[in-house]
Amino acid sequence: MKSTIKSITLEKILIFLFVAMTGVCICLVVVYFTDKAASPTHPEGCGGPQELSGESGTFTSWNYPSNYDNGKSCTWDITVDPDKVIHLWFEEFALEDTQLCIADFITLRDSLGIIGKYCGYTKPKPVVSLTNRLTVFFDTNDRKTDQGFKAHYKALDPKLTAEIAGAGGFLQGDQGDLMTPGFPEKNYPNGALYQWSITVPEGERVQLTFTSFDLVPEVCGDFVQIYDGNKAGSSLLGKFCGGAMPKPVVSSNNTMVVRFKSDNTLTSKGFRANFLKSSLPPRTTTTPPPTSSGSGGPIILQGRKGVIQSVGFPNPYPAHLNTMWKISVPKGFLVKLQITDMAITGETGQCKEDKLVISDSYSVLGTHCGYILPPLVVSASDTISVTFQSDSRLTDRGFSAKWEAVYPEDIGEIHGCGAFSREATGIITSQNWPMNYKANAECMWNIALPLGKKITLTFTHFDLEAKDILTSKCYDNIMVYDINSPFCGTKLPSTIQTKGNRLLIRFHTDLFTEAKGFRAYWTTNPSLPAPTEPPVQPNPWDDITIDWPRTCGKPVIPPNVVSRIVNGEPARPHSWPWQVSMQVWPSSRPEPTFFHTCGGTLIHKNWVLTAAHCFIRYADELQRWRMCLGKHNLTFTEPSEHCFNVSGIYRHEGFQYPTVPTVEFDIALVRLDGEVTPSDEISFACLPSEEEVLPGGKKCYATGWGDETGDSLNAKVAEALNQVALPVVPYDTCKRMDYWWFQVKTSMICCGYTLPDELKSVCQGDSGGPLVCQVTEGGPWEVHGITSFGPIGCIMNKKPSVFTRSSAYLPWIRNVIRRDLYNEHTSGCGGPKDLTGTGGTVSSMGYPGSYNNKARCQWNIQVSTGKIVHLQFHNFSLEESQMCMNDKVSLSDRIGNLGTYCSHVPPEDLVSDGNTLRISFSSNDKVVDTGFTATWRAVDPTDAPCGGSYSSAQGEITSPNWPSDYQAQSVCTWRITIPSAKSVHVVFTHFELQAVNMFGNCIDYVEVFNGESRFCGFAPPPLLTIPSNTVVIRFLSNGANQQQGFRGYWTTDAICHSPNHRLNNTKL
> Does an H or E element contain 447, and which?
strand 441-448
Candidates 87, 180, 77; CA nearest to 125 is 87
> Does an H or E element contain 936, and which?
strand 931-939
Candidates 213, 235, 233; CA nearest to 223 is 213
Contacts of 235 (CB under 8 A, 6+ apart): 227, 228
Cα of 872 vs its chain's centroid, Å: 43
CA dist list (Å): 856 to 463, 698, 1028: 40, 46, 38
C-beta of residue 851 within 8 angstroms of C-beta of residue 930: yes
How would you classify the pairing of strands 334-343 and 398-406?
A: antiparallel
Candidates 254, 231, 253; CA nearest to 132 is 231
Question: What is the C-alpha end-to-end distance of the chain, expressed in Å?
Answer: 101
SS3 at position 219: helix
CA dist list (Å): 304 to 333, 336, 357: 9, 10, 22
Rounded Cα distance between 748 and 806, Å, is: 8
Handedness of CA 796, 797, 801, 802 (dihedral sign): negative
C-beta of residue 212 within 8 angstroms of C-beta of residue 272: yes
- Alpha-helix runs per DSSP H in 668-777: 731-734
Q: Kindly list the catalytic residues.
A: 613, 666, 767
- Please spell the DSSP secondary structure of 490-509, one letter per residue: SSPPPPEE-SSSEEEEEEEE
- Alpha-helix runs per DSSP H in 827-954: none
SS3 at position 731: helix
Contacts of 28 (CB under 8 A, 6+ apart): 706, 707, 762, 763, 765, 767, 787, 789, 790, 794, 801
Contacts of 1034 (CB under 8 A, 6+ apart): 895, 896, 898, 913, 947, 971, 972, 973, 974, 1006, 1007, 1009
Q: Rounded to the nearest 10 degrees, how much is the dihedral formed by the CA atoms of 322, 328, 334, 337?
A: -30
Candidates 337, 341, 336, 342; CA nearest to 354 is 342
Rounded Cα distance between 975 and 994, Å, is: 24
Candidates 630, 632, 651; CA nearest to 641 is 630
CA dist list (Å): 1016 to 657, 959, 1024: 48, 13, 15
Bridge partners, 106 (sequence order): 118, 138
C-beta of residue 975 within 8 angstroms of C-beta of residue 1007: no
C-beta of residue 180 within 8 angstroms of C-beta of residue 162: no
Rounded Cα distance between 320 and 654, Å, is: 41
Candidates 598, 623, 617, 618; CA nearest to 609 is 598
Rounded Cα distance between 442 and 670, Å, is: 33
Rounded Cα distance between 1031 and 222, Å, is: 74
Bridge partners, 239 (sequence order): 225
C-beta of residue 200 within 8 angstroms of C-beta of residue 254: yes
